[in-house]
Structure 1
């Protein structure tokens, strides 16, 4: 269901742009963004829902009924209608990719960058703010959105990825750099 590369992204982009265009015309880009984030979380937390949505043997009206039950009135009517259109066009299988692409478009609109942060433990508000400030300084973005992940395999610290740039502030990264400098110095 990922729409992050290849043919999927070519199919996903026009739908994400259409949703963005509708949202802009109604001045609800942020509201739709919040709903899309919730929808993504719902999909990522439920393999059962993902499999149901992706199953080509499930009838369209059944998919619509289940989506209505799952999301109810929690999302904006524009988004609910958009989901119905995706089902009708047999594109609901691309929902996760479309959601991710919409959020990319929203970040571009708001001059926001996404920083993927992997740490050993949950970071405090101050630590998250320090990362945002560092990323803002690096990228000259107006805003920074953090995508937090916990990885107990890391040895202290954090790894921050912004686009193709990686800042490895983990202890393992520091040790690796130290061992490289020791071997190249001898």
Structure 2
């Protein structure tokens, strides 16, 4: 769940105009070193020591941002900030992300139709489609775009039928 605090920090990070590669490098460093986030988030460690670590590890462009996160005790939400940042970058490129869960993988023509439909519906020029096999759907698919879910699965149909029967 995205917090407004993470979204606001992401906007600031985006406004810095850093190279995407630099931000991705930060993400990779933190993904490989969970202890680093724990250390930078630890209130017992002095701010000067945290800043020295940041200065040794990261490029000049991003250091100030990371230091502000440490000072405001927000480094623990860096993953959410980077997630929101990536959304802003894609939005600036007029690209939308979606997740397609399926039982039987659609062929390339069907995937193309889904992407075209999403571009038309959301007024975007591109789609990044995350594909995931999910046998629990029984059949069909579930397409998730942001908070919207389009459930065209057998499991979803059965669930809707149950709800309709209970309401009677």
Q: Under a length normalisation based on structure 2, what TM-score does the superposition of the two structures give?
A: 0.65
State the alpha-carbon separation in 2 of the partners of residues 140 and 89 from structure 1: 37
The yes-or-no answer on 1:146 pairing with 2:129 is yes
Q: What SS is found at the alignment partner of 1:168?
A: strand
Assess, with a 3 A threshold, how the Cα gap between structure 1 residues 87 and 17 changes in structure 2: closer, same or farther. same
What is the count of residue pairs matched by the alignment? Answer: 164
Q: Which residue of structure 1 lines up, in the alignment, with residue 150 of structure 2?
A: 167
Question: Gaps (5+ residues) in structure 2?
Answer: none
Correspondent of 2:15 among 6, 12, 21: 21
The yes-or-no answer on 1:56 pairing with 2:43 is yes
Indicate conservation of the 8 Å contact 1:64/1:84, yes or no: no
- RMSD (Å), alpha carbons: 4.0
Assess, with a 3 A threshold, how the Cα gap between structure 1 residues 136 and 82 changes in structure 2: closer, same or farther. same
Q: What SS is found at the alignment partner of 2:149?
A: strand
Correspondent of 2:53 among 35, 50, 65: 65
Question: Gaps (5+ residues) in structure 1?
Answer: none
Deviation at 1:149, TM superposition (A): 4.4
Q: Under a length normalisation based on structure 1, what TM-score does the superposition of the two structures give?
A: 0.61
Deviation at 1:68, TM superposition (A): 5.8
Q: Which residue of structure 1 lines up, in the alignment, with residue 6 of structure 2?
A: 12
Q: In the TM superposition, what whole-angstrom CA distance separates every residue of 1:34-65 from its partner, at most 9, and x where no partner exists?
A: 55456557757876565455443344435863
The structure that has the greater radius of gyration is 2
